[in-house]
């Protein structure tokens, strides 16, 4: 019972993580501002659009590309806070995570939907991923806390259009989307939409992400009207199954209990058993530090790109991390086994992490 109370009281803060003020001007929060942004080092950024399609200070259309999608953002607009890659607010490593990927040869971007995600109830934000006609339609919030009438398209449709504009002249062959918390649903839905556009001959197949990484993924429980009374997690499983059949690599990392909160969350074990899944230990935080544990999935994943994949004591396959190749991820997708961290969970450093396999959930 004590654990349930801790999870319940901490949920609001746990899903609202790793955002910082002082990077984006107030105008960004007072006008509707969403879509694809490219990042350089030191939290430098530019809005992706027609003027950046052929290349810019922070985008090379021939390079591998990582695009991150954040989750729920309650009350962040009033604080003028947005996700950034070098975060000095909170208990995060003082590391420029974007620069790590840039030095590995990647473009680094963020698909923002934070003004839509600024809702007091996580279900209200989640609904906007799937429908434009939910309880609160597509209202968005400004820095004064005022809600405004939004567009007539849902968040997936809006971000799809932004992606297609920003990536229109992409000539590379390596696109990865990483979605945190609620953002994992957008990552999967967006990839599915792109795959279907490719099937129809409307876009080149190179614009379809080859990999989707789920970072402490969150799904609400209970049937939803906008999904014909299906659970979100069940629909997500169908999407993941389709993408898996298309050869998309899907890896998932769990760092907290908040995503399986019995009051609102769905652990979605069937999904995890059919993709590459690893449970990470975050014992360097106290049990009550729910927000820190939840956000740890972001920086642990992004940081891991510069290190070799972690060892697995009882399997010859390479462990899972951002540094895993797509083929290595697909190998884990072919088994219902998952990985559990058995060493290194008391330190934030990644070099001491060791895993072993565990059977299906």
HEC profile of the chain: CHHHHHHHHHHHHHCCCCEEECCCCHHHHHCCCCEEEEECHHHCEEECCHHHCCCCCCCCCCCCEEEEECCCCCCCCCCCEEECCCCCCCCCCCCCHHHHHHHCCCEEEEEECHHHHCCCCHHHHHHHHHCCCCCCCCCEECCCCCEECCCCCCHHHHHHHHHHHHCCCCCCCCEEEEEECCHHHHHHHHHHHHHHHHHCCCCCHHHCCCEEEEECCCCECCCEHHHCCECHHHHHHHHHHHHHHCCCEEEEEECCCHHHCCCCECCCHHHHCCCEEEECCCCCCCCCCHHHHHHHHHHHHHHHHHCCCCCECCCCCCCCCCCCCHHHHHHHHCCCCEEEEEECCCCCCCCCCEEEEECCC
Residue 263: the pLDDT is: 80
Residue 15: the pLDDT is: 54
pLDDT tens readout for residues 39-86: 999 999 999 999 999 999 999 999 999 999 999 999 999 999 999 999
Residue 19: the pLDDT is: 80
More confident call, 313 vs 18: 313
Catalogue all structural domains in the chain, each as residue range(s) with its CATH number.
2-358 (3.40.50)
For residue 1, is pLDDT > 50? no
Residue 5: the pLDDT is: 43
What CA–CA distance (Å, rounded) separates 274 from 241? 8
pLDDT tens readout for residues 304-317: 999 999 999 999 99
Query: Region 218-231: what's the mean pLDDT?
Result: 97
Lowest mean pLDDT across 215-219, 286-290, 314-318:
286-290
Residue 91: the pLDDT is: 76
Averaged confidence pLDDT in the chain:
94
Residue 6: the pLDDT is: 44
Residue 9: the pLDDT is: 45
For residue 12, is pLDDT > 80? no
pLDDT tens readout for residues 97-130: 999 999 999 999 999 999 999 999 999 999 999 9
């Amino acid at each position: 019972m004590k654990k349930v109370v801790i999870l319940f009281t901490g949920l609001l803060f746990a899903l609202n993580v790793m955002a910082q003020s002082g990077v984006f001007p107030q105008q960004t929060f007072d006008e509707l501002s969403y879509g694809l942004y490219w990042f350089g080092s030191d939290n430098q950024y530019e809005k992706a659009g027609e003027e950046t399609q052929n290349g810019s200070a922070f985008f090379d259309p021939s390079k591998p590309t990582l695009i991150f999608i954040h989750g729920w953002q309650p009350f962040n607009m009033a604080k003028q806070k947005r996700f950034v890659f070098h975060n000095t607010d909170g208990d995060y490593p003082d590391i420029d995570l974007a620069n790590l990927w840039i030095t590995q040869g990647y473009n680094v971007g963020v698909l923002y939907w934070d003004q839509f995600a600024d809702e007091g109830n996580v279900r209200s934000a989640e609904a906007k991923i799937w429908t434009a006609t939910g309880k609160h339609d597509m209202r968005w919030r400004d820095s004064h806390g005022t809600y405004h009438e939004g567009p007539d398209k849902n968040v997936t449709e809006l971000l799809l259009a932004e992606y297609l504009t920003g990536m229109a002249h992409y000539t590379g062959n390596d696109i990865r989307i990483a979605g945190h918390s609620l953002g994992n649903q957008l990552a999967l839905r967006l990839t599915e939409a792109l795959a279907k556009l490719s099937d129809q001959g409307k876009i080149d197949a190179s614009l379809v992400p080859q990999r989707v990484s789920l970072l402490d993924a969150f799904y609400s429980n209970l049937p939803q009207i906008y999904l014909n009374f299906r659970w979100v997690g069940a629909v997500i499983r169908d999407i993941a199954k389709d993408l898996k059949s298309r050869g998309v690599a899907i890896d998932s990392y769990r760092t907290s209990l908040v995503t399986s909160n019995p009051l609102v969350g769905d652990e979605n074990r069937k999904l995890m058993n059919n993709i590459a899944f690893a449970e990470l230990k975050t014992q360097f935080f106290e049990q009550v530090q729910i927000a820190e544990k939840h956000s740890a999935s972001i920086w642990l994943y992004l940081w891991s790109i510069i290190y070799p994949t972690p060892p697995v004591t009882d399997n010859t396959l390479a462990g899972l991390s951002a540094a895993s190749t797509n083929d290595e991820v697909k190998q884990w997708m072919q088994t219902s086994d998952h990985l559990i961290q058995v060493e290194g969970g008391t330190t934030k450093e990644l070099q001491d992490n060791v895993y072993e396999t565990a059977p299906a959930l």
